[in-house]
Structure 1
Amino acid sequence: MRLVPAAAAALLLLLPLPAATQQVLRLVTGELPPYAFHVPPPTVAEQGEPQGLVWEVVREVARRIGHPIGIEFMPWPRAQELALGLPNIGILALTRSPEREEHYSWVFEVVTDDLVLVGGAGVDVSALERVRDRPTGVLLRSGAEQLLRERGFTRIQPAAEEWVNAQRLRDRLIDAWLAPRLMVLHAHREVGGDVAALGIGAVVRRSGIWFAASRGLPEAEIVRWRRGFEAMRADGTYDRILARYTRLRPAPVPEDARRQPIPWVN
């Protein structure tokens, strides 16, 4: 059979890469519900079931392209340190931001979320500058924390997990909280809060939640992963996973079930 050049090129794009050129990434993440998390959470039990919107998507893409599907959970700052300092690290779920742009290889965007400012009772959260002098919760080593530091905020209160920020806001230990909307809703429900009563104010920016990798990942490897993701979108698998997590209503975790106390905030 004779192929015209354009048809031949299209056919080549559909063929798998030779095994010798394929790289194995060490896949890492943190406790980032609803993107990647355990039920019950690690603060309650050591053997929770891993799940999450980005966790499921990346595992499914890995399965489709013949890559090992194991994903390691670790403290989120440690996961970022690995991806910044070592080659062949795949990291999920990472917010793509101007501050991070040049430090990673950006493989594919799983979902777009809003980075929102949330306030306690009586706190004006109509704009980020309104809370410049107020204690504001963020996820440790997150894009939100970096944004506030670059804008000169001095009363930043980082937390290892977002449920800590939800509880601090409820207990009036912080006045505001900056995080992606889906993470805010999940964490607020996790501490038994009523999302209808949440004071969500300004959308600070749109935030793409990505599967990324160490800098220098070969373009051919990025293309391999993107093909797998595009195939998921084409056959409806992605939409089914997304719908399940946007409907997710996590059960509240009783305070006395947590093994990790919340540090006092000054």
Structure 2
Amino acid sequence: MALGAASGAGAHAGQAPLHIVTAHLPPLVMAPGDKQPGALRELVDALCKRLGVVPDIEFMPWRRALYVAATTPNSAIFPVTRLPERERRYHWLAPLYEENYIFMAHKGSDFDVHRPQGMTDKRIALLRGAAQSAILRELGFRRLVEASSIDEVHRFLLAGMADAVFGERAIIHRSLEMRGVEKDFHLGEPVRTTTAWLAGSRDIGEQEAARWRAAMAELVADGTQKRIFRQYGLA
């Protein structure tokens, strides 16, 4: 049976809005004031509408967002990568997007984005608290330069504080596009593919989590997810 907004609203009548935390990660999530909300923000909005859930979305630095969602009842976070060390911190509500992680380096740099296995002594800039840290350490990188935002990651690279950047492909492409500097950088092929989720606080029960997963399956089946992704060049 379809999980329409009417049936979801009945289940949530009288409940407080779901506090959802996130960060500015264009084109996946765009801060208030941007022309578009971002592909995953639109997808999460569609999920909430399908379930009759009222979202209260708050933007904050990513590391803080991870902490808030793990410690605050009736809260959620997106887009968060599902890692073994995070498994018990959250209740995993819905898979949203396939992430592709790549290296980026300035042209003229001695960092070879096509042979990253030989670059493990280099300094790598990344978003603080993000899944990239665990992936990089698994790949043998130890000199990690963490930044509080995507803009700061880019500044660290330009300032010579890092030799390369490691991040999600769509986010890197949009960051370069917004600055008009695509021709100044080399981009590697994906070295790791993961899934970004909407994850909830542990007080959200399995029955409720199953409703979120079923609603997500509906959005995939009826083409809503693909339509949203196509608008952002992600499909």
TM-score (norm 1): 0.75
Percent identity for Structure 1 against Structure 2: 30
Q: Name the residue aligned to 2:128.
A: 140
Q: Name the residue aligned to 2:39.
A: 53
Specify whether residues 212 and 127 from structure 1 end up closer, same or farther in structure 2 by C-alpha distance, changes over 3 A only. farther
Which of the numbers 26, 30, 50 marks the counterpart of 1:33? Answer: 26
Equivalent pairs counted in the alignment come to 230
Q: Name the residue aligned to 1:207.
A: 194
- Given that residues 31 and 59 in structure 2 are in contact (C-alpha distance below 8 angstroms), is that contact kept between their aligned partners in structure 1? no
| Letter paired with 1:25 | L
Q: CA deviation at 1:204?
A: 2.5
- Given that residues 97 and 207 in structure 1 are in contact (C-alpha distance below 8 angstroms), is that contact kept between their aligned partners in structure 2? no
Q: Name the residue aligned to 1:255.
A: none
Per-residue CA deviation, residues 30-60 of structure 1 (Å, 9 max, x unaligned), is: 1121211226xxxxxxx55661111111111
Q: Name the residue aligned to 1:264.
A: none
| Paired residue secondary structure (1:38) | coil
| Letter paired with 2:70 | L
**Is 1:161 the counterpart of 2:149 in the alignment?**
yes
Q: Name the residue aligned to 1:259.
A: none
| Letter paired with 2:55 | I
Distance 1:184 1:177 in 2: 9
Q: Name the residue aligned to 1:8.
A: none
Q: Name the residue aligned to 1:108.
A: 94
Greater CA radius of gyration, 1 or 2?
A: 1
Q: Name the residue aligned to 1:71.
A: 57
Higher relative contact order (CA 8 A, sep 6+): 2
- Given that residues 125 and 153 in structure 2 are in contact (C-alpha distance below 8 angstroms), is that contact kept between their aligned partners in structure 1? yes
- For structure 2, the 5+ residue unaligned runs are none
Per-residue CA deviation, residues 120-143 of structure 1 (Å, 9 max, x unaligned), is: 333123344433221110001100
Q: CA deviation at 1:22?
A: 9.4
Distance 1:93 1:27 in 2: 11
TM-score (norm 2): 0.84
Distance 1:235 1:33 in 2: 25
- For structure 1, the 5+ residue unaligned runs are 1-10, 40-46, 249-266
Which moved further from structure 2: 226-235 or 132-141?
A: 226-235
| Paired residue secondary structure (1:124) | coil
- Given that residues 81 and 194 in structure 2 are in contact (C-alpha distance below 8 angstroms), is that contact kept between their aligned partners in structure 1? yes
| Letter paired with 1:238 | Q
Distance 2:127 2:187 in 1: 17
| Paired residue secondary structure (2:132) | helix
